[in-house]
Structure 1
Amino acid sequence: MKQNQANRWRSHIHQHAESTGNLLVEIFHYLALFAIGGMTAWAGTLAALDMLAKGSASIDDILLLFIYLELGAMVGIYFKTNHMPVRFLIYVAITALTRMMISDISHHDAPDMGVVYISGAILLLAIAVLVVRYASARFPGVKPASPQQVSAESHEGTER
């Protein structure tokens, strides 16, 4: 008889601990998302204000704004779907490498093998986007619940 009551108490305590743990994880999750989104918006705003202050925008500056845009979109999709869109990380990497290559070419007179290496890395990342898109279309991890979900052409949120 005492064993049965001890098991009920143990089960009750376990349920409360699990609920409390899940609540704390969700609170941290949302606070972190708001912090990351806020920092991304702040950094993008500062970059845009810096461009306005100097009176011009280089291609480096514009590509930096695209990086901030992709990071903000990643936060928004992750907030809505709880899935990290892997393609967005690859897009950010492609944009960052493009920015680095353009900066390197504009600051040096003669391009060297670094341009070839960066171009190869961009090509590999572009192939990775194709693989991820094919895999997410062919083997979806989450079944679409409704036709109102984010479409495949507008960065679906079903990738992990």
Structure 2
Amino acid sequence: MKINWAESLRESVHELAESLGNLLVESFHYLALFAIGGITAWAAVVAFLQMVEKGHIAVDDILLLFIYLELGAMVGIYFKTNHMPVRFLIYVAITALTRLLISDVSHHNGSGMGVVYVSGAILLLALSILVVRYASSQFPSVSTEKPGRRRLKREQAPEEGEPGEA
């Protein structure tokens, strides 16, 4: 035999704890996103000012600014959607490796095996983007249906009385 008041109290405590936990997690989430976004913007401004102070800008400096731009875009996308696309992390890695490759070739004037290794890594990352894009188009993880609406299979006709009936 259940005691109704105890069960009701247990459910109330559970709902309160869940709400409080969600509030704390989401507060930390937004605080961390703002901090990461601010630090990224600050680092980009400092890098830009150092380039201006230096008096000239090289290609690897421009690629560094692109890395900061991609990091800022990642923060913005994560803020809006609560999802972190893996593709953006791969884009940052490709840009960083391209910057390393250009810097290495331009400063060391060497075309050793390091260039081949870095180029191979860039190729592997580009192929991984193709795989990720193909997989996400073939096996989407997020439903495209609107809340409260039932998704119909192609061969399934609407039942009597449902919207969409001819």
Deviation at 1:2, TM superposition (A): 7.3
Q: SS at the partner of 1:142?
A: coil
Contact 2:70-2:92 within 8 A present in 1 as well: yes
CA RMSD in angstroms comes to: 1.6
What is the CA deviation profile of residues 92-148 of structure 1, one whole-angstrom value per residue up to 9, with x for unaligned ones?
0000011111111122232211111111110000001111111122222223468xx
Structure 2 match to 1:86: 86
For 2:58 and 2:102, how far apart are their aligned partners in 1? Answer: 10
What is the CA deviation profile of residues 53-112 of structure 1, one whole-angstrom value per residue up to 9, with x for unaligned ones?
111111111000000000000011111111101110000000001111111112223221
Instruction: Please say which structure displays the higher CA radius of gyration.
Output: 2
Identity of aligned residues (%): 71
Structure 1 match to 2:46: 46
Contact 2:104-2:110 within 8 A present in 1 as well: no
What is the CA deviation profile of residues 5-58 of structure 1, one whole-angstrom value per residue up to 9, with x for unaligned ones?
222211111110010000000000101111111111110111111111111111
Comparing both structures, which one devotes a greater share of its residues to helix? 1
Q: How many residues align?
A: 146
Structure 2 match to 1:36: 36
Structure 2 match to 1:96: 96
Contact 2:78-2:84 within 8 A present in 1 as well: yes
Unaligned runs of 5+ in 1: 147-160
Unaligned runs of 5+ in 2: 147-166
